[in-house]
Chain A
Amino acid sequence: MKRTVDVNIPLGPVHPCFKEPARVKCETKGERVIAAEVELGYMKKGIERIMKGRPWQEVMFLAERVCGICSVIHNMVFIEAMEQISGIAVPPRAAYLRVIVNELDRMQSHLLANFSYCYTIEHETLAMYLLDCREQVMDALERLTGARVTCAYMIPGGVRCDIHAEDQVVLRESLDRIEKELHRYASMFGNGPMIALRSRGVGILTPVAAREAHVVGPTARASGIAEDRRIQHPTYKQLGFTPVVRYDCDNYARIMVRFDELFQSIRLIRACLDGLPKGIIRGGGICKAGEIRYSGEAPRGELTYSIKTDEVGRVVEIQIQTPSIMNIEACCHSMIIGADSIADVTATFVSADPCIACTER
């Protein structure tokens, strides 16, 4: 079929709205986008290749550096996969601490995603509020783990350090503060008429299209698919976890799902702090040979590690499946198509929270 195309507009790789290099090529007719294609390949570092033949203490740091925004979950999934292979049990206190750090990381990632969206639709005030709120989460993360981004908190058999008694108090206080602020920002976003004009009904991803594209994470949950790997996680099971779902299928729903998950994370952290068991935080244990496919829920969706190790615990084969690739594909095949203007293309692309670094690794 021959198509009439007015202009072929490339966005990126260096574009004011994208924090990372990706190239979205849009075929437009007038202002209407009729087809879009994402071109990747600016960030390929070959992490899986260099992971091979290395012990966990090196792979752990490489895994963290698959994605700097959601580094904790990469650490967690890799370490838990190694524990499953080697039959290492985690002390209950360490398991709870892992959930706390993981949820803090999810909070900062969601805040960053919502910041990017608000920034892209030019609502800079709300964007800056959210970024300021994120700094408080980062402070809590730094207090617990000692680093802001690449925390390196989990090791096989436990965690690096325990939570100090005075830090628990500080953490609770900052959670209260963050929750209060977030309620304000969420209602600003949820009820803002201008935001609704830019977000409601834009970038529709129907549940059928979402299932076809195997969309994961908040993008899927905004399209009414109640999927979340945390349901299967033993510690989250103890905490009574249910995923957040919305049925609007548009940009607005995707951002609101993230806001809802922020509150959920706060609840989970509080539950962990309340029920924090006493005891040791490192059980010891040596990595052994084995093979496993293990998944966890990253802020952007399901993250899977397939690992094979040799008898001294070195990784011989590893495959990482990151969530963003499905979301990006769904984005350019369903969400962008029919956008009324190029400005909506960037907004829609950002609302799916694409992470190029972990897509290409």
Chain B
Amino acid sequence: MTASLYWYLREFARIEWVRKFFFARTAPLVTPAHFRGFPEPTGKACQHALFCMMVCPAVGAIDVVHEGDGWKPRIHKGHCIRCGLCVEACPNGVLMSGRVLETMQAQGTALLVSFRISIDRDLCTGCGNCVTACPVNKQIDAQLGAGGHSSNDEVIMRVDDGDVQVLHEEKCTGCKICETSCPTQAIQIARILEGIQQPVEGGGP
């Protein structure tokens, strides 16, 4: 009886036991480096290509804001699903997340974004709203009239014969301004994503 009491007292008096009993042992609450977390800036200058916003599958997860004299992507926690697509789509390596950026640089993988303009001839009224709204068009042909007629052959699209004709699809930057300005939803911009790889010399496993 006394022996066991003594034994218990001795056991309980150990500082280790006290610590274990009263203070929970913290589990290793570390996030490994290869976990794909929220995208973070790498410090490279953002070129305002907006590919990150175009490929982002979540609603309102990323936007690019003016900051100082440059642009800066901003991630909204609570919306971002941490997919890492913006990291892969950015041509300038502005964002990083986990190992995604290193891996894609080492293995030469990339996501190519291209745009396809489709016009529904039945819906198009030839109003020319999209032609005048397009920022690329405005840059190419400053004299672009309200009707969407243009004598310049370099514009992305122009109104001909009462319908919009697409001339240079490849110049489109995918901003979708034309889509929102169209009263009949006749013009649709498809953002096409393609995963490609050009193996790097000596890189990759």
Interface, chain A (partner B; CB < 8 A): 55-58, 60-62, 142-143, 145-148, 150, 152, 155-158, 160-165, 168, 280-287, 311-314
Contact = CB atoms under 8 A, between A and B. Distances in A.
Interface string B13-46: 0000000000000000000101110000000000
- The A interface, classified by DSSP as helix, strand, loop or mixed, is loop
B101 to A, nearest CB: 11
A162 B34 contact: no
B84 A152 contact: yes
B100 A60 contact: no
B81 A312 contact: no
A271 B54 CA distance: 39
B205 A165 contact: yes
A55 B103 contact: no
In this complex, the interface size class of chain B, counting residues with CB under 8 Å from chain A, is: 20 to 34
Interface string B58-95: 10000000000000000000000111110010000000
Contact of A312 (B36, B83, B116, B199): B116
B116 A150 contact: no
A162 B107 contact: yes
A358 B157 CA distance: 44
Contacts of B58: 61
Nearest to A65: B81
A63 to B, nearest CB: 11
Nearest to A145: B36
Contacts of B195: 155-158, 160, 282, 284
B85 A57 contact: yes
Contacts of B116: 312
Given A142-B35, A152-B84, A55 B191 contact: yes
Contact of B57 (A58, A145, A158): A58
> Chain B CB within 10 Å — which of A142, A155, A161, A283 has the most?
A161
A142 B109 contact: no
A56 B83 CA distance: 14
Contacts of B190: 55, 312-314
Nearest to B199: A280
A280 B197 contact: yes
Interface string B177-205: 00000000000001111111101000011
A250 B205 CA distance: 46
A161 B104 contact: yes
Contacts of A160: 84, 88, 100, 109, 195
